[in-house]
Structure 1
Amino acid sequence: MKVDVRVYGLVDPQIGAGRSLAELARAAADGGATLIQLRAKEQSTREMVREAKAIHAALAGSNVPLLINDRVDVALASGAEGVHLGADDMELADARRLLGPDAIIGATLKKAGELPYLASAPIDYACIGGVFGTVHKDNPDAPVGLDGLASLRREAARVLGPIPIGAIAGINATNAASVIAAGADGVAVIGALFAGTDTRAAARELRAIVDAALASDRARPA
């Protein structure tokens, strides 16, 4: 399945700060976000399913898929379009078997040594990170930076083929263009969309930046 990772919004109860995650997700979609992920590591399973169902309902008609971070069971229970899985989560092949051929399955990519496993797995996209430092997730690994992103992106293209590759961590309107220039097909963001008071406007601005950067990058001679 072709997945649009241009503006990938991660909505989380922590960034929501009591606001409706469903409303935030819809505002992001209305502004130009192309993919939404629910990340709710501190919620119970029941709470997470309830949240996912509400977000999924809010996104109805937007053509923006909802993915669930880590939890295949929550994706199944809520009717979400897929999952994003890290190295410590369910095996990607098992997730595909459970979710079926039409589900979107994405994976985290932190280092080149993970590429052979991802190449053998039925994934639809990968997300490189963290690119920069972030306050939204504890990450024991040092940021890869733009040079590391560019190098890993080149290796991913060689090993994984033409699947979309996003980038995550510390990305915002001021550095998104440089992330695209380094080879990413899109940006996964949390604070850049949801930390302010106008998510729709933030999504519109970020989408315009990403689209312009992609157009410039694709027009550059090889």
Structure 2
Amino acid sequence: MTTSDTNIQLYLVTDEAACLGRDLLWVVEEAVQGGVTMVQLREKTLGTRAFIERAKRLKDILLPYQVPLIINDRVDVALAADADGVHVGQSDMPFEILNKMLPPEKIIGISVENERDVLEAEQWDISYLGVSPLFETPTKTDTKVPWGLEGLRRISEQSKHQLIAIGGINLTNAGSVMQYGASGIAVVSAICSATSPYETAFRLKSMLQSQAISDNT
């Protein structure tokens, strides 16, 4: 299971509270039009039926842009909405069970919070590792010590997987993150709380592309 045919450079993780009263689906579409290449729907408070309905609506929005929809944690919701994949943390469903439940073409992303997590994931056929948290962030309060840029570099040197860095990433540090081995960045409030989700996504995407060109020259 790989993401070799999918651009995961700019990954938006949704947070309805961070949208500051604006419609979540509007924020996501604005961000996708600006350059977001993958979207994770994260809902901690919705009931199952409402979560599935929102996932289906979001998938309909993303489909014309060919942007994959990833569901956070809830494999049942991902299957019911026929989402493109699932992202799980270390306290969520074990990979061995998750892998049996999902069709082989689905994307699987797993958060890694320490060196042991990284080593364990080497034996798995997954799409990407979520390096979490890279920096301190107010959107997640239950995480381990931040990896930092040097931690990201260490992971890139020992892991075969694509790395998506998440946590405290914004316009001021996104370029540096790519220099230290990330395949892409995941952002939450940097886009969801932006005055213009489109503008911020566009600027982030331009920065990432410029860094990619610089790395290849």
Normalised by the length of structure 1, the TM-score is 0.91
Shift of the alpha carbon at 1:18? 3.3
Q: Which of residues 17, 22, 26 in structure 1 aligns to 2:20?
A: 17
* Residues 34-67 of structure 1, C-alpha deviations (whole Å, 9 max, x = no match): 1000111122212211211111111121010000
Deviation track 1:118-147 (CA, whole Å, cap 9, x = no partner) reads: 122221111112111111111341212111
- The partner residue of 2:122 within 73, 95, 119 is 119
Gap runs ≥5 in structure 1: none
Please tell me whether the aligned partners of residues 111 and 152 of structure 1 are also in contact (alpha carbons under 8 angstroms): no
Counterpart CA distance in 2 for 1:176 and 1:19 is 25
Task: Find out whether 1:8 has 2:11 as its counterpart.
Answer: yes
C-alpha deviation, 1:208, in angstroms: 0.4
Question: Please, which moves more after superposition, 200-209 or 19-28?
Answer: 19-28
1:208 paired with 2:206, answer yes
Runs of 4+ in 1 over 6 A off after TM superposition: none
**Alignment length, in residue pairs?**
214
Contact 2:132 2:143 in 1 (8 A): no
State the 1:20 CA deviation.
2.1
Matched ranges for 1:1-222 at <5 A: 1=2, 2=4, 3-156=6-159, 161=160, 163-219=161-217
What is the percentage of aligned positions where both structures have the same residue? 35
| Helix, strand or coil at the partner of 1:216 | helix
The two structures have a TM-score, normalised by structure 2, of: 0.93
Specify every segment of 5 or more residues in structure 2 that has no aligned partner in the other structure, as ranges: none
